[in-house]
Amino acid sequence: MSIYRKPVIFIIVSLVVVLVGSVVSTFIPLFMPSMEPALEGITPYNPIELEGRDIYIREGCNNCHTQTVRPLLFETARYGEPSKLGEFVHDRPHLWGSKRTGPDLARVGGKYPDSWHYKHMENPQAMFKDSNMPPYAWLAGNRLDTSLAEKKMKTLHFPFADAEIRALDGKTEMDALVAYLQKLGRTKKPQPLAATTQGAATAVESPAVAEGHKIFDENCAGCHGADLAGGLGPNLTDAEWKFGGSDADLILSITEGRPGGMPSWKSVLDQDKTGKVVAYIRSRAKG
**What is the CA 73 to chain-centroid distance, rounded?**
20
Q: Give mean pLDDT, residues 241-248.
A: 59
| Whether residue 286 has pLDDT greater than 80 | no
Task: Give strand pairing partners of 194.
Answer: 202
Q: What mean pLDDT value characterizes the chain?
A: 82
* Most confident option among 75-79, 83-87, 156-160, 206-210: 156-160
Residues 6 or more apart in contact with residue 213 via CB below 8 angstroms: 205, 280
Q: Is the pTM of this model over 0.75?
A: no
| Whether residue 193 has pLDDT greater than 60 | no
Q: Give mean pLDDT, residues 211-224.
A: 84
Tell me if 233 sits within 8 A of 241, measured CB to CB: no
| Whether residue 192 has pLDDT greater than 80 | no
Q: How far apart (Å, rounded) are the C-alpha atoms in residues 158 and 253?
A: 43
| Whether residue 188 has pLDDT greater than 60 | no
Q: How far apart (Å, rounded) are the C-alpha atoms in residues 174 and 144?
A: 8
Per-residue pLDDT of 271-283, as tens digits, reads 888 888 888 887 8
pLDDT, residue 201, reads: 36
| Whether residue 181 has pLDDT greater than 80 | yes
Q: Give mean pLDDT, residues 17-37.
A: 75
| Whether residue 243 has pLDDT greater than 70 | no
At 199, is the pLDDT very low, low, confident or very high (cuts 50, 70, 90)?
Answer: very low
- Domains, in order of start, for the chain: 47-183 (1.10.760.10), 194-284 (1.10.760.10)
Residues written for the chain = 287
Please give the full DSSP string across 246-283, using - where no structure is assigned. SHHHHHHHHHH--TTSPPP-TTTS-HHHHHHHHHHHHH
